[in-house]
């Protein structure tokens, strides 16, 4: 029996609030799995198991797939769909309420790969959760709306570039892998998606005070249309100007035109 039939048989009803558009296209599922370099030493964390089509493919490559699914009415269909995949553990809970370290400490693994296909509003909190809980993740592969993908990999000077871009790019190399048409989902959503890969950075930019850096960046973007001079009034603006001059810029620039390295330089200068 195929996935659609199993969902129908168990009288599963799709819930919009959980972003339940399931990906059933075999080619795209295979392409997502390939992005991960998953081996039999890999613990794969899948957030939003859905109808388990991706889970099944991940489990063939991985040591274990630890899946999270908020909707417990998927328990019955998933037990059928994944009946032959005994290296899959599923926790029926909101991933954002979990303690990741506690959930993973029973596994012996060499590396962690995260895969998630989720509503856009939950994607950033999820990535931030891995950062805050200091989980050593090699790659995070996420599928998001096309526009959100652009924001993650935005470059200075573009509309999508903001403090979130800088925060995420400090920790990860981020690249868009491929676009996915809305036509390959069941049911069909309103927008196209893109797969984005977050790869752990091996070398972080040198920062004297990471908290200062992130606060500076956040403050610099508080009012996007205003200049640094206006947004950073509570900082030593003269020092900032001197530092920016080294990069042929000045405090009359907007934050959207300042690179992550330049912000790093300013923060280090102010933290002397
Ligand atoms: N991975 C599947 C696929 O590719 O077909 C399902 C994708 S579907 C877009 C998103 C899934 O995430 C849904 O099954 C939804 O119930 C689940 N979900 C949404 N929010 C969640 C959360 N906070 N924690 C765990 N699962 C969640």
- Per-residue pLDDT tens over the stretch 233-269: 999 999 999 999 999 999 999 999 999 999 999 999 9
Residue 115 beta carbon below 6 angstroms from any ligand 1 atom:
no
DSSP character string of the chain: --HHHHHHHTT----GGGT--EE--HHHHHHHHHTT---TTEEEEEE--TTSHHHHHHHHHSSEEEEE-S-GGGHHHHHHHTTT-TTEEEE-S-GGGS-HHHHHTT---SEEEEEEE--HHHHHHHHHHHHHTT---SEEEEEEEHHHHHHHT--TTSTT--HHHHHHHHHEEEEEEEEE-GGGEES--SS-EEEEEEEE-SSPPP-S-HHHHHHHHHHHTSSTTSBHHHHTTTS-HHHHHHHHHTTT--TTSBGGGS-HHHHHHHHHHHT-
Residue 215 lies in a domain: yes
The last residue of one of the domains, among 139, 165, 200, is: 200
Q: Which long-range contacts (CB under 8 A, 24 or more apart) does 164-167 make?
A: 164/124, 166/217, 166/260, 166/263, 167/128, 167/214, 167/217
Q: Are residues 30 and 10 part of one domain?
A: yes
pLDDT at 247: 97
Q: Are residues 186 and 141 part of one domain?
A: yes
Q: Are residues 106 and 87 part of one domain?
A: yes
Confidence of residue 3 (pLDDT cuts 50, 70, 90): confident
Q: Are residues 133 and 28 part of one domain?
A: yes
pLDDT at 15: 94
The last residue of one of the domains, among 169, 200, 231, is: 200
Q: Are residues 218 and 109 part of one domain?
A: no
Q: Are residues 120 and 40 part of one domain?
A: yes
- CATH number of the domain at 261, please: 1.10.8.100
Percent of the chain with pLDDT over 90: 85
The last residue of one of the domains, among 166, 200, 234, is: 200
Q: Which of 21-35, 104-118, 140-154 has the lowest mean pLDDT?
A: 140-154
Q: Which of 75-89, 120-134, 254-268 has the lowest mean pLDDT?
A: 120-134
Confidence of residue 71 (pLDDT cuts 50, 70, 90): very high
pLDDT at 159: 84
Residue 234 lies in a domain: yes
Residue from 6, 10, 70, 94 to probe ligand 1 pocket by mutation (most atoms less than 8 Å from CB): 70
Q: Are residues 180 and 83 part of one domain?
A: yes
Cα(159) to centroid(ligand 1), Å: 29
Domain total in the chain? 2
pLDDT tens-digit readout, 84-112: 999 999 999 999 999 999 999 999 999 99
Residue 78 beta carbon below 6 angstroms from any ligand 1 atom:
no
Q: Are residues 223 and 117 part of one domain?
A: no
Residue 50 beta carbon below 6 angstroms from any ligand 1 atom:
yes
- CATH number of the domain at 13, please: 3.40.50.150
Q: Are residues 191 and 243 part of one domain?
A: no
Residue nearest to atom 22 of ligand 1 (CA): 94
Q: Closest ligand 1 atom, CA of 74?
A: 14
Residue 65 lies in a domain: yes
Confidence of residue 150 (pLDDT cuts 50, 70, 90): confident
Confidence of residue 272 (pLDDT cuts 50, 70, 90): confident
Residue 217 lies in a domain: yes
pLDDT tens-digit readout, 172-208: 999 999 999 999 999 999 999 999 999 999 888 999 9
What is the extent of the structural domain holding 122?
3-200
Residue 205 lies in a domain: no
Residue 57 lies in a domain: yes
Q: Are residues 263 and 134 part of one domain?
A: no
Q: Are residues 237 and 215 part of one domain?
A: yes
Residue nearest to atom 18 of ligand 1 (CA): 48
Q: Are residues 180 and 245 part of one domain?
A: no
């Amino acid at each position: 029996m195929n996935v659609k039939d199993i969902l129908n048989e168990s009288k599963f009803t799709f819930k919009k609030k959980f972003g339940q558009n399931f990906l059933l296209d075999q080619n795209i599922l295979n392409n997502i799995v390939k992005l991960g370099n998953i081996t039999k030493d890999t613990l794969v964390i899948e957030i939003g198991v859905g109808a388990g089509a991706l889970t099944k493919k991940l489990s063939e490559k991985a040591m274990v797939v630890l899946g999270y699914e908020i909707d417990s009415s998927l328990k019955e269909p998933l037990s059928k769909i994944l009946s032959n995949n005994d290296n899959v553990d599923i926790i029926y809970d909101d991933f954002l309420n979990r303690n990741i370290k506690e959930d993973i400490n029973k596994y012996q693994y060499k590396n962690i790969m995260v895969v998630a296909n989720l509503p856009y509003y939950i994607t950033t909190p999820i990535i931030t959760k891995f950062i805050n809980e200091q989980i050593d993740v090699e790659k995070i592969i996420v599928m998001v709306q096309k526009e959100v993908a652009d924001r993650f990999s935005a470059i200075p000077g573009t509309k999508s570039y903001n403090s979130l871009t800088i925060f995420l790019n400090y920790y990860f190399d981020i690249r868009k892998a491929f676009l996915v048409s809305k036509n390959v989902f069941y049911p069909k959503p309103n927008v196209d998606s893109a797969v984005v890969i977050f790869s752990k950075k091996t070398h972080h930019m040198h920062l004297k005070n990471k908290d200062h850096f992130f606060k500076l960046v956040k403050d610099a973007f508080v009012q996007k249309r205003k200049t640094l001079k206006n947004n950073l009034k509570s900082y030593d603006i003269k020092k900032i100007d001197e530092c920016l001059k080294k990069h042929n810029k000045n405090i009359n620039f907007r934050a959207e035109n300042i690179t992550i390295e330049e912000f790093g330089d300013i923060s280090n200068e102010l933290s002397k």
